[in-house]
A and B are shown apart, each in its own frame.
Chain A
Amino acid sequence: MQFMLLFSRQGKLRLQKWYVPLSDKEKKKITRELVQTVLARKPKMCSFLEWRDLKIVYKRYASLYFCCAIEDQDNELITLEIIHRYVELLDKYFGSVCELDIIFNFEKAYFILDEFLLGGEAQETSKKNVLKAIEQADLLHKYGNVHHPNKNSKCWTLTFFQNLTIFVHGQT
């Protein structure tokens, strides 16, 4: 994997992780172009894009887009599962994760990502092991309890829409 971007439906970058060395200028250019292209796509379109010489795999969870760039020989479908597993990990860690969790605790989201993907490759795919590693590190931070924004009815969870889409598909 070359890089991973998380951005909101408004086009605001929420997380960026680059596994290839690029200059800041290039990073900005790529981000701008990709956010634009992905946001312009309609919901019924497929999750893959060919962009320059890379393949882009993206998926929308509620108001957040997860977007990965992979090389030509990589498997697009399994990359979708990587995204999904990452969302599951976030979900489990934050407890029904929503965009706000990621905004306010983005460093935690990075830690989880680092534990899951290392240098662009899936490192640990067992959910239990990833979370164990994170929790162990968390324990060290005595005061470092995860800061949860209050989850009242006004906060939509990422997986909520995921479930909703599955439901809608089931209907049709």
Chain B
Amino acid sequence: MSDVVEKTLTALPSLLSLDSQPGSAKLSSNSKLGNLIRGITELTSKHEEEKLIQRELLLIKEQVSSPNTTMRQMKELMVRAIYCEMLGYGVSFSYIHAIKLAQQGNVLEKRVYLAVSLFLNEGHELLLLLVNTVLKDLQSTNLIEVCMALTVVSQMFPKDMIPAILPLVEEKLNHPREIIRRKAVLALYKFYLIAPNQVQHIHNKFRKALCDKDPGVMSASLHIYLQLIQENPEGYKDLAPSFVTILKQVVGGKLPMDFNYHSVPAPWLQIHLLRILSLLGKNDQTSEIMYEILDESLRRAEMNHNITYILYECVKCIYTIHPKSGLLEKAAKCIGNFVLSPKINLKYLLKALTYVVQQDPKLALQHQMTIIECLDHSDLIIKRETLELLFRITNDQNVTVIVEKMLDFLRISEDDHTTIDLVGKVAELAEYAPDNEWFIDTMNTVFSLGGDLLQPDIPNSFLKLLSEFDSVEEDKKLRLFAVNSYISLLQGDSSKLPQRFLQVICWVLGEYSHLREDLEPGVVVRLLAKLLDMKSSSSETKCWVLMAMTKLCPGGAALALVHDVSETYSSSLDTMLRQRAQELQILSQDSELQAKVLPRSASMEPVEVDSSLSFLDGFVSEALAAGAAPYKPPHQRQEELSRSKLNLEPYGLSLPISISSCSITDRQSPTLLSISSGLSGDSTDFSHKGSTALKLDGVKRLWGRDGYLAQKEQTEEAPRIEAASAVRSADQLGDNNALNSQTPNPTPSPECDQEKQQLASSLFVGLASQSTPAELSALSHSKVTLLFSKQNLDVSACHVQKEDSVVLVVFISNCSDSFLHQIRLQVDSEELETEEYGAMWLAFSHDTKQNLTLIHDGRDPLAATLDVLKRKLQLHVVEIIVEAIVACCLQQDQPCLMHCRMHAGMLAVWLRSPVPDLPDCLLYCCQ
């Protein structure tokens, strides 16, 4: 069977001789391509092929530029050029000719558009030359010409030129022929994809296309709707009943027979509709109208075994939309059939089980045997999908087995993409570790298998985990185990270990090898020194080695080794390496200083970083006093520099001054100071930065646009900062919390507090999402979102589906082991000025609007309603100017602004906050 092509090629000469019968130029031209193809197949080496094609291309080049070449010949030349390009040779010289041909040719040559569409892509500059041709053809009365123009337009068209042809394409939506209407709709779809804002105004025409009497046009319009709904499902809820009706008609076989595909009515159309429905019904009551048709679709698809593609799409849809128990059961059964099927392509759909598993992990039990079988399948893809499924059902009991399977797979996988992905997953799962040994062993395998491909955050989080373990005893054991395992690794052949892994080893040995009492630091240093001599070690790894040596600080014979090493590298060309070597040299000679710089016991405590660089204040004010120019950030310097360059005025008095001022700032600003420019930022940007503005809270603003802020300026700055940060210390939430007194100092410094908060949120996000209260776990609920956390308390929210309603639940959870006696929830109002309110309003991105009913109790209804809100939400009224603006603050750094307006007897409330779910929660309280 392998020689099928060869056999047929031997028959070619006779075929080609048939062609050369008298008659047409077309046939002889065809044989030119034939000759070329035959010529290529006869060749034996790649080199010969290249020679032949180059010759051919020269010939083509000559002919296309010749003025005597007829249109027909040109067209034939283009076909040959396309062929050469397909073989991988550059034919860019012919692009312009293809476009020229499209311009000049009459309807017979219009098919050369094809060449254009194959040669060029959207971004190509030559496409601009095509615009006029397309315009002309769109206006043509010839159906074929219009069709071709629309085809080329929907494949590629320069974005900027869309307005030029848009009216013509729009016009085609009313064309009497359905083929033109269909192509016009698809062209508009393409326009929408590349430049959505340009087709905004024709959305109602899309609706018309959706109602078109021709099913082809209607199904073309679904492409646009799928895209639109993907971007904004809320905006198209009203269309859901129409889509359901269309699907009903399609499933019911109401379409012409032409649209059947192997007796399935319009499968592509059905799949499109199902996808649209699943987007519309996601977490939404709209789903209710879909249940009936989904059931029907499923039933019909099941009757005919061949239409698994519809079944699959139905199942996906059923699991995406608002759940309905009866349907879920049917869908689960359906997936069960896929899994059990002997057909390999259906086995691949095993991954659909992940949907089922997310609803109810127990359902996976039914299929456990199949899953095990698939795990040992000879097709790696199936194996990979099975692992994906297992990854979703991992818990602390099965983690060892699943991770082992994944590592097995990693050992045979050759694809980088898969390796990176799987290694990340294993590292994620490894944190469910049943014991220390297993954890370290697993991570060792991850590092050695992942090599230098793995995501940099994996080693980082591993080291972080190692340094932050919470119980002292366990902690020590874990570290000791890691040290032991790394020592034995280094004693073996370490040249094969990836660089990242070596870096991890260096760090751990540097930090924790002292835990093993029988181990001389000298031994470790010698092992580390071996790494330095290895050719494969990168200079980054060498830095890590030197840092580890610095921490170890051995005495005795090893000291000489350390000395040698630091000597060697202190003249290295790599600056980092050099710096580390210098550090090592100095610290190894001065053990007192070493103990001070790298205190062994304190390595767990977070290092306080003075990000405002306040220790430099003295230096700066001294320099300023001595007449130095204030610091200017680089962009400002650049600006001034360019301004001075553009000074076109004749030589005058102003010139020397401007030159002197900017050249002085440039040279005199000490490089050290420029470090702070990133942190201090622009004072004018402050209010617009949104969430970043909050992060700046803790940092004392000493550096502004003009450098170090002198005392006078600082007093101006101070109130603003206080208003924004509104420091509410820990005792407000936890003053009754007896066990909370562990907090070292009652008023923690802002920097430290913030760091902790960040740490807490990064550590407890995972926990919060699992620790739903017991009452909730029985009900189905959406993903729990952590609103904010403070010390040991998390406030989270989620939607819960009850039998008859969806409820927003906000709950407080204690994420520490300590016992809380009493929690007093207090919502604080924040004192704000109108200006600040305005600035903050612009900065916050998450907003919600709603109308509330006013309360009438004799007084001014606005005041009355606000009073109630004030009491309920602890609001602080900022100002009432015709409208009212009020603000409240739930917690430190979590403000929420409210804007109320009387409108048609209702109170229009508009909430904004930097925290995504806060406005929703508050609004819920308002009702």
Contact A147 B30 (CB under 8 A): yes
Please give the number of chain A residues whose Cβ is less than 8 angstroms from any Cβ of chain B in the complex. 71
Contact B186 A123 (CB under 8 A): yes
Nearest B-chain residue to A16, judged by Cβ: B86
- Cα distance A60–B55 in the bound complex, in angstroms: 34
Against B, the Cβ 8 Å flags (1 = close, 0 = not) of A16-42 are 111101101000100000000000001
Chain B residues whose C-beta falls within 8 Å of the C-beta of A100 in the assembled complex: 5, 8
Contacts known (A126-B216, A133-B147); A63 close to B4, Cβ less than 8 A: yes
Contact A81 B261 (CB under 8 A): yes
Nearest A-chain residue to B143, judged by Cβ: A136
Contact A62 B4 (CB under 8 A): yes
Contact B344 A81 (CB under 8 A): no
- Cα distance A44–B313 in the bound complex, in angstroms: 25
Interface centre among B5, B107, B223, B349 (most CB of A within 10 A): B5
Nearest A-chain residue to B379, judged by Cβ: A45
Q: Does B483 contact A (CB under 8 A)?
A: no
Nearest B-chain residue to A137, judged by Cβ: B144
Min CB gap A31→B, angstroms: 8
Partner of A124, one of B7, B19, B182: B182
Q: Does B108 contact A (CB under 8 A)?
A: yes
Q: Does B118 contact A (CB under 8 A)?
A: yes
Chain A residues whose C-beta falls within 8 Å of the C-beta of B418 in the assembled complex: 50
Chain B residues whose C-beta falls within 8 Å of the C-beta of A48 in the assembled complex: 345, 348, 381
Chain B residues whose C-beta falls within 8 Å of the C-beta of A47 in the assembled complex: 344-345
Chain B residues whose C-beta falls within 8 Å of the C-beta of A62 in the assembled complex: 4
Interface-forming stretch among B163-171, B265-273, B669-677, B739-747? B265-273
Inter-chain residue pair count (beta carbon < 8 A): 179
- Cα distance A8–B86 in the bound complex, in angstroms: 13
Majority-rule SS of B interface residues: helix
Chain B residues whose C-beta falls within 8 Å of the C-beta of A123 in the assembled complex: 182-183, 186, 220
Q: Does A10 contact B (CB under 8 A)?
A: yes
Interface-forming stretch among B10-18, B130-138, B829-837? B10-18
Contact A99 B5 (CB under 8 A): yes
- Cα distance A48–B381 in the bound complex, in angstroms: 8
Contact B309 A77 (CB under 8 A): yes
Contact A121 B189 (CB under 8 A): yes
Contact B114 A133 (CB under 8 A): no
Min CB gap B36→A, angstroms: 10
Min CB gap B246→A, angstroms: 15
Q: Does B462 contact A (CB under 8 A)?
A: no
Chain B residues whose C-beta falls within 8 Å of the C-beta of A143 in the assembled complex: 23-27
Partner of B8, one of A50, A53, A154: A154
Contact A46 B348 (CB under 8 A): yes
- Cα distance A171–B25 in the bound complex, in angstroms: 51
Q: Does B860 contact A (CB under 8 A)?
A: no
Nearest B-chain residue to A161, judged by Cβ: B1
Min CB gap A18→B, angstroms: 7
- Cα distance A45–B379 in the bound complex, in angstroms: 6
Contact B312 A77 (CB under 8 A): yes
Q: Does A129 contact B (CB under 8 A)?
A: yes
Contacts known (A118-B154, A121-B186); A107 close to B30, Cβ less than 8 A: no
Nearest A-chain residue to B12, judged by Cβ: A149
Contact B381 A122 (CB under 8 A): no
Min CB gap B2→A, angstroms: 7
Q: Does A163 contact B (CB under 8 A)?
A: no
Contact A22 B121 (CB under 8 A): yes
Min CB gap B350→A, angstroms: 10
Contact B19 A46 (CB under 8 A): no
Contact A28 B37 (CB under 8 A): no
Min CB gap B378→A, angstroms: 8
Contact A46 B182 (CB under 8 A): no
- Cα distance A48–B108 in the bound complex, in angstroms: 41
Q: Does B308 contact A (CB under 8 A)?
A: yes
Chain B residues whose C-beta falls within 8 Å of the C-beta of A129 in the assembled complex: 179, 216, 258
Contact B186 A119 (CB under 8 A): yes
Interface centre among A10, A76, A99, A119 (most CB of B within 10 A): A119
Min CB gap B910→A, angstroms: 34
Min CB gap B27→A, angstroms: 7
Chain B residues whose C-beta falls within 8 Å of the C-beta of A124 in the assembled complex: 179, 182, 216
Partner of A45, one of B2, B87, B216, B381: B381
- Cα distance A17–B118 in the bound complex, in angstroms: 7
Min CB gap B143→A, angstroms: 8
Chain B residues whose C-beta falls within 8 Å of the C-beta of A99 in the assembled complex: 4-5, 8
Contact B26 A144 (CB under 8 A): yes
Q: Which A residues fall within an 8 A CB radius of B?
A: 8-10, 13-19, 21-22, 24, 28, 42, 44-53, 62-63, 73, 75-78, 80-82, 85, 98-100, 103-104, 106-107, 110-111, 114, 118-119, 121-129, 133, 136-137, 140-141, 143-144, 147, 149-150, 152, 154-156
Give 9 closest A-B pairs by Cβ, nearest first. A77-B309, A21-B121, A126-B258, A45-B379, A143-B26, A78-B309, A46-B344, A21-B122, A143-B24
Task: Taking A114-B114, A126-B216, A141-B111 as given, write out 14 further A-B residue pairs in contact, using a Cβ cutoff of 8 Å, ordered by the A residue number.
Answer: A13-B87, A46-B345, A50-B381, A75-B313, A76-B345, A77-B309, A78-B271, A100-B5, A107-B79, A107-B82, A107-B111, A111-B111, A118-B183, A121-B186
Interchain Cβ contacts under 8 Å between A and B, 9 examples: A21-B123, A77-B345, A77-B349, A78-B309, A78-B313, A121-B189, A122-B268, A149-B12, A154-B8
